[in-house]
Structure 1
Amino acid sequence: MVGAPPSTHAEVVVDLGALRHNVRRLRELVWKGSPTGQVMVVVKADGYGHGMVPVARAARSAGAEWLGVATCAEALALRAAGDAGRVLCWLAAPGTDFAPLVEAGVDVTASSLDQLEEIVRGAREAGEVGRVQLKVDTGLSRNGAPRSEWLALVTAARSAQDDGAVRVTGVWSHFACSDEPEHPANAAQQEAFEEALALAEDAGLEPEVRHLSNSAGALLHPRARYDLVRVGIAAYGFSPAPDVVTTEQLGLVPAMTVRGTVVLTKELAAGAGVSYGHTFVAEEPIRVALVPMGYGDGIPRHASNTAEVLVNGVRGRVVGRICMDQFVVAAPETHAGDEVVLFGPGSHGEPTATDWARWCGTIDYEIVTRMGGRQTRVWVGEEGDE
């Protein structure tokens, strides 16, 4: 059998030790020793590109009481991987069969009367009590029941609970502007959430957890922490509001490093154009290095002629358009075989995902989540290594 050709050594390296540190640090920042405050680590979208199952295990070992996912398939994948703790999922299309989720002990979200009815049907098919959390739209205008349906939803949920079909375990919502502390929407949403909680209480519901705050809400809005906070991007080591408080100020450590290998170098004469469209033309002789990674691997094309990488401990700028499989870097004193770090925690002078987000006019959530393609994902910092 003919062996596979050597890889191009493009890697996404995930430091699980950093992730555990972040979860513990966030608990310290948010709950300050409170014995009752709970933390949910959101591991949707394959753990924001870090690998859902390894991240989930690291989060649990760091004390996360809950895991959060978007889809039903993600929740069932966690169960298949052996996770037995509390898991909440919140996105399901009409017609979803909730019976497998009820059987797996997953907390599922009802964002409408119709969805609640489907969950009740699934619980009856499963022959078990379903765990349901009611999501109310307090101003994000995305998922969640609108205010006009809150009374009907909590009333129907109480009826289904009295019938023994479900147990209402939570009431929750989601901030729209929590990364802007002075935005008036924050106070308005919390006031609306309090109204929804009062309706649930009047209906006789006693949810185990009430939660409104995402990462920014947890860190910047103490009054909105309630029983549980949902931390997503902060668990992966990034400030959810970098213009308000930096990652370094929070004491968080980015868990992802993306690196590759130079496969070719060459000297270009003044006037030479680089890559498609010659959007970069050398004004003087320069040495360039070819990196075999591109937008097919999640490297944003928007970073063309803007982003920087670290080669041999020195920053080099991406020149020319980033292609599907490769990009070019202006990098003197570079040779084939040298390591290129696209981004990492920044502790060795390399750019961070936040830097790449700024260069691309986006957010670091998008940068880390899109990494993949032909890159090999490697996990380091297993608990036994500490």
Structure 2
Amino acid sequence: MGNCMSTSTPLKSINSNPNSATNVKSSNQSIPTQRSDDEMLSTPGLKAFSCNDFANGIEYSQSLTEGGEYSDIVFKGWIDKQTLCPSTPKTGIPVSLKHLKSEVFKGDKEWLAKLNYIGQLHHPNLVKLIGYRVDSEDWFLVYEFLPNGSLENYFFREGIQPISWETRMKVAIGAAKGLSFLHDAESQVLYRYLDASHILLDDDFNVKLPAYLAPQVMDIQGYARQGYVAQGYAAPESVDSVYGPGCVSTKSDVYSYGILLLVLLTGRRALKKSMISDQYLLNWVKLFRRKLLQIMDTKLEGQYPENVAVAVAALALQCTDSNLNSRPEMSHVLEKLQEALTL
């Protein structure tokens, strides 16, 4: 294993004025100034909803709830498209309201500054954060409504038709673009929470990463991190006592992305728990390093280009190298994935 390259908080630096748009790095991946209403809600900053807002007219949505066993509850509400004031299903547009567990986050000025910065990062593969609501000690995040819920629904929920190879690769590209954008932002964002339950999907299966998780995960040994580790996506240096708690970097995100690729290829959970022993997907895949086609999801029924599948699997193994210094940067991963899909 390599040495830990960074022990920074999710945001390395934030301008003293969290509402300043100059914090965001200009990029060809950024959304143009003029965006259609269907792409994103346009707001000058995060809206602070009052405790009476959404007092009525919200409903629990199991399909939108993220994170499995360690999830925060998500509700569905409605707001006016122009004023962002609470509305009704007949006159408003749907939004998601995510209840935050008090054990997981810090609702202080530093946390809000980070959240405001995240709210200014605009990219087609990031969830649009609209605002937050405070009810005494309870906090809610308000963000765009994504009707297809999480990627996990399409792999590990009974009765759901398997998604095609083309859709899986669309998800892989979208997640890579979102992560690459976050890593290249002027105030770099370490995502730290990538797994199938936190890959959100719009009605056309475009990936939307909930970047608001970055400031939420404050303590690597905290409740949220335990839930993440339990999913099997955490890089070894982020949990290994040899490095010490909090040893995370962009390469930790790359590792998690590699695990995500393996989930997309195999249709298996990153970690399968049993009474006998825990079975990690990565360890199983490594048994077939020389015969990577044997790891492919049988539900695909062979409907995929074999040479591309092998190239994507090999890239996943590069991303999950135990030596973090041997893992590629996310921008390089995106480039290699795009090249593989043209084979």
- TM-score, normalised to structure 1, is 0.22
Determine which structure has the larger strand proportion and give its number: 1
Which of structures 1 and 2 has the bigger CA Rg?
1
